[in-house]
Structures are given as structure tokens and as C-alpha cells.
Chain A
Amino acid sequence: MVRTYFLLAWTWTRAAAAYPGSFVLMVALGFVAAALDVAVVLIIFANTTALAGFSREEVLLLYGAAGLSFSLCDTFVSNLDRVSQHIKSGTFDTFLIRPVGAWIQLTTDRFNATRVGRVLQAAIVLGYAIAALGIGWERGWMIPVMVATGVVIFAALWTLAAALQFVLTDAPEVTNAFTYGSNQLTQYPLAVYARDLVKGVTYVLPLAFVNWQPGLYVLGRDDPFGTPEAMRFLGPAAALVLALPAALAWRQGIRHYRSTGS
């Protein structure tokens, strides 16, 4: 499965690399666009020393971890949102006649390697925050777990969104609200949001496990909302709890695919 993924992705990358100038420019643009995002965080901290009790470096750690998870998904999974175009035009048929899952084929469809610019930016921010806060292995081991958890959660969200397209057919914007919206939400410490919203993203849509709960552990802090310590370690479980219905929804979506005339 992994081999097939990279084979398909590589084929598209090679096709794109036929225009090296534009390729490099797109990577650079992705990097700059993402850097502007982090500038917002820096501007906030030019006016204050703490955001909901979190220092600049602490916010950057949360921002970088969520950003890395999200940009990895944006690079490797987000092509799923093309499914609505494929359903509308009936070209989804051709994904279903191959001996490889439609999910893999779709995620690599016109794979766009230029998104690595964003991955790079998020990795740099995260690396800087780790160094600036002097985080060691005793708590830092959670960081790779946190990023992997985030990748699974975002990938599951994208899959759910794509599965919804089989029913809605033409509403990629509705589902983008979930995927890109979730990224926006996780860029800041959840302590800045209202208690009910935080409850929602903890127990309903488990976005709190992308970076907030494990991030609190890495930072050695208590949850301002008072959740027990054990919650910091529930990320992987929460990710699986979301991934399972996402996979089922995707399967059901394909079974309800209607194709087009002719």
C-alpha cells in the first residue's frame, strides 16, 4: 500500500517536474504563505507577553505541531477533496476498475509535491519552539506521537469529508469548513476559546488531541479547563475512534456511488 502510494505520487511529481521553474516557485510560495500565518502569532506577541497564559514559544510549539500534522495531510491526503469533481463527471469509475483501493488512487491523483513548502515551514517553527523551550526526551517523546496522532485525525476528517461527497455530490465547501477550519482552530491554545467549544472538540470531534492535550503534557502544564492528567495520553485512542467511522463512511460512500449516464 505504501509502495503503491509513493509510486503513484512519484509519477505525478515527475510529470510536474517537467516544468522545474514553476515547481520551485510553487514550493517557495507555499513556504511564504505559511510563514505569513506564523507572522500573525508573532504580531500578537509583539503586543502581549502571554496568550491565555501561554508564552510565545509555547504557542509556537502548539502551532508548529498542529501545522506539521496538517501540512503533512494537506500534502498526502487532501487530494481526496477532488472526489466531488470525479463523482460529478463520472471519472470516478476509472478508480474503481483498478486492483488498488480508490482511497490510495485518489489521494495521489495529481499529487502536488509543492505543498512540502508548508511542511518545511511548520517543521522549522516546531523545531525552533522545542529548542527555545529546552524540551528534553523525558517529555519530548510525546512530540512525534502528537504529530502522528494529528496526521491520523486530519486524514480521518478528510476521509469523512470525501465520503460525504457521495451523498452531497457538490459541496466541497461544506466539507472544507471541517478540514481547513480544524486547522485554523488548532493553531492556538484551546484556552483562548469558550468552554463549550472546547468540550465539543474534545468529546465530539477530537481536535483537542491533535496538539492541545498532548501539548499540555510536553509543556508540563495543567489543563486550564481542569481535565484529568490521563487525558494527555488518549490522543492515539481518540484518533482511532475517529478513523474507524471515517473508513466505514468511505466504504459506504463507494457502495452508494451512482456513476453517470452512458
Chain B
Amino acid sequence: MIELDRAGRSFKVKREVVHAVRDLSLTVAAGEFVGCLGPNGAGKSTTIKMLCGILTPTSGTVRVAGLDPSRRRTALARRLGVVFGQRTTLWWDLPLVDSFELIRHLYKVDRATFRSRLGELTETLDLGAFLRTPVRQLSLGQRMRGDLAAALLHAPDVLVLDEPTIGLDVVSKAGIRDFLRRVNAERGTTVLLTTHDLGDIERLCRRVVLIGHGSLAFDGTLEELMATAPGQSSIEEVVTRLYTAGAQ
């Protein structure tokens, strides 16, 4: 469903070339739930943005749902749901429900399907109380639930989330994790998320990918990740070792 083949993206910063991502190869099959870890500036967001077609890779190839994201961006958008934890994709000044209505038109979801999906999402994400509130007045937890609903209204095959639990309290986090697990299990949606919260990884991801310095540092199950550092009992310690090892 997601294929990166030696994908790279570099930026020119003050005449110097910075490789945000280099030679990254990764394949995610349909229905997988993959968590992506990596220290700040490792290239996680750049990778996500290449998957959505926001950034054009400077080397290698990227395929999502069989399409080249940067060339077939709008066609891919119909099959892809995107959530940025740091930034809403909703219309800031419009009530949440107006944003949803716009999305219905943009993605050409028919009215009956839309109504039943929105009803379902409203229930599972508990949106009822603030559907008519302008997005700018929502709390972070409410906004994130709104963003999640917005990303799923068109029933995408792939859901990509960049730090979806950032800044949320434990209860909100639990709610979002529970929801994501259900979307993956019940609908078979392929999910790729980046996070700094190891709880997300432990509770959700069967497969863990670690990006360091723009390339793949680890790819395997949670158990395999733990096995890279025998004797360490907590995932925090294992990941800390991997992050600091990568820095040397």
C-alpha cells in the first residue's frame, strides 16, 4: 500500500544541501498498522509529506496506493486520510460541521453515505457537543477528534498521522488510540503514524520503524525492537539507546 524505494529529499539551506531523508526504503502492506519513531529532525515529517504529495522527493521513488503522490496528488487524496497533530486541516473560522460538509463535497461523498459515516464518527469520537462550534474555539483534544473524523469521512484506504497524540491528556490519548485500533481492525485501513509517545507504539503498533538521520535505523516488531538491547526492560530505555547510538 505504501512503497518507498531509496526515497530522498534534500533542502538547500544557505547554499548547503541538507538531506532530510536519504535512501529510505520501506514497504507497508494493506491492513498493516505501523508506528514510526525517531528523534526530532530525523525526517519523519518529511517522509509523511512525501507520502501525501506535499513534498516532491529529490531522489528515489514513492508510491502510495499504486500512485506517485507528487504527480497524482489529487487522485491520491481520495484514497488517503491525513492528520497533522501540530496543525489542523479543518477550516479555522468555520463550525466543525461546515468543515465536514465541505469535505463531503470536495471528496464527492454522497449524502446518505456521508450521513451514516458522520453519525458513526460522531458517536465513536464523541463529537456531538461541539459540532456547531468554530474550529478555532475547540480545545486541542476536541480539535484532534474533529481532524480524525475529517480524515476518515471519505473512507480512505490509507490513514497517515503525524504525531496525532501530541499534547493530549491521558484520557484523550486513550480515546484516540482506541479509535485508531478500531479503524484498523474493523475497516482494514492501513495506518502509518509517527509519534514520540512510546505508549502509542506499545498499545497500537504491531510493526515499528525507526528513522534516524533520514534513513531507516530499525524495522521490525515490538519484540524484535526490545531484543536489540538484551537486559533492558522498558521500551524507553531501548529507544533511548537506539537514538543515542544513532547520534554517534
A interface with B by C-beta (< 8 Å): 4, 7-8, 11, 15, 90-91, 93-94, 96-101, 110, 255-259, 261-262
- Bound Cα distance from A187 to B102, whole angstroms: 39
- Bound Cα distance from A110 to B91, whole angstroms: 10
Complex contacts, A4 vs chain B, CB 8 Å: 105-106
- Bound Cα distance from A150 to B101, whole angstroms: 34
Name the one of A90, A99, A256 contacting B106, with C-beta atoms under 8 angstroms: A99
The reply to whether B93 and A96 contact each other, CB–CB distance below 8 Å, is: no
Given contacts A97-B82, A100-B74, contact A15 B52 (CB under 8 A): no
- Bound Cα distance from A99 to B151, whole angstroms: 12
The reply to whether B89 and A255 contact each other, CB–CB distance below 8 Å, is: no
Complex contacts, B91 vs chain A, CB 8 Å: 11
Complex contacts, B49 vs chain A, CB 8 Å: 93, 259
The reply to whether A99 and B98 contact each other, CB–CB distance below 8 Å, is: no
Interface 1/0 per residue, B77-114 and A, CB below 8 Å: 11010101011110101100010011001111000000
The reply to whether B105 and A257 contact each other, CB–CB distance below 8 Å, is: no
Given contact pairs A94-B87, A98-B106, A256-B56, enumerate 8 new A-B contacts (beta carbons under 8 Å): A93-B54, A94-B84, A94-B89, A97-B54, A97-B77, A97-B89, A99-B74, A99-B78
Give chain B nearest CB distance to A75 CB in angstroms: 19
Look across to chain A and name the residue whose beta carbon is closest to the beta carbon of B11: A258
Given contacts A93-B84, A262-B86, contact A101 B70 (CB under 8 A): no
Name the one of B75, B94, B106, B163 contacting A15, with C-beta atoms under 8 angstroms: B94
Quick one: which of B157-176 are within 8 Å of A by CB? 162-163
B interface with A by C-beta (< 8 Å): 11, 41, 45, 49, 52-56, 70, 73-75, 77-78, 80, 82, 84, 86-89, 91, 93-94, 98, 101-102, 105-108, 162-163
The reply to whether A100 and B106 contact each other, CB–CB distance below 8 Å, is: yes
The reply to whether A91 and B98 contact each other, CB–CB distance below 8 Å, is: no
The reply to whether A7 and B102 contact each other, CB–CB distance below 8 Å, is: yes
- Bound Cα distance from A259 to B162, whole angstroms: 14
Complex contacts, A258 vs chain B, CB 8 Å: 11, 55
Interface centre among A98, A100, A101, A255 (most CB of B within 10 A): A98
- Bound Cα distance from A258 to B101, whole angstroms: 30
Complex contacts, B162 vs chain A, CB 8 Å: 262
- Bound Cα distance from A258 to B17, whole angstroms: 13
The reply to whether A99 and B75 contact each other, CB–CB distance below 8 Å, is: yes
Complex contacts, B87 vs chain A, CB 8 Å: 90-91, 93-94, 262
Given contacts A93-B84, A96-B53, A257-B54, contact A101 B74 (CB under 8 A): yes
Complex contacts, B41 vs chain A, CB 8 Å: 261
The reply to whether A8 and B102 contact each other, CB–CB distance below 8 Å, is: yes
- Bound Cα distance from A257 to B73, whole angstroms: 14
Give chain B nearest CB distance to A201 CB in angstroms: 35
- Bound Cα distance from A143 to B81, whole angstroms: 47
The reply to whether B106 and A96 contact each other, CB–CB distance below 8 Å, is: no
Complex contacts, A259 vs chain B, CB 8 Å: 49, 54-55
Given contacts A11-B102, A257-B55, contact A99 B89 (CB under 8 A): no
- Bound Cα distance from A98 to B78, whole angstroms: 8
- Bound Cα distance from A7 to B98, whole angstroms: 12
- Bound Cα distance from A255 to B93, whole angstroms: 28
Complex contacts, B54 vs chain A, CB 8 Å: 93, 96-97, 257, 259
Complex contacts, A93 vs chain B, CB 8 Å: 49, 54, 84, 87
Complex contacts, B102 vs chain A, CB 8 Å: 7-8, 11
Complex contacts, B75 vs chain A, CB 8 Å: 99
Query: Could you give 15 example pairs across A and B, Cβ below 8 Å?
Result: A7-B102, A8-B102, A11-B94, A11-B102, A93-B54, A96-B52, A97-B77, A99-B74, A99-B77, A99-B108, A255-B56, A257-B56, A258-B11, A259-B54, A262-B163
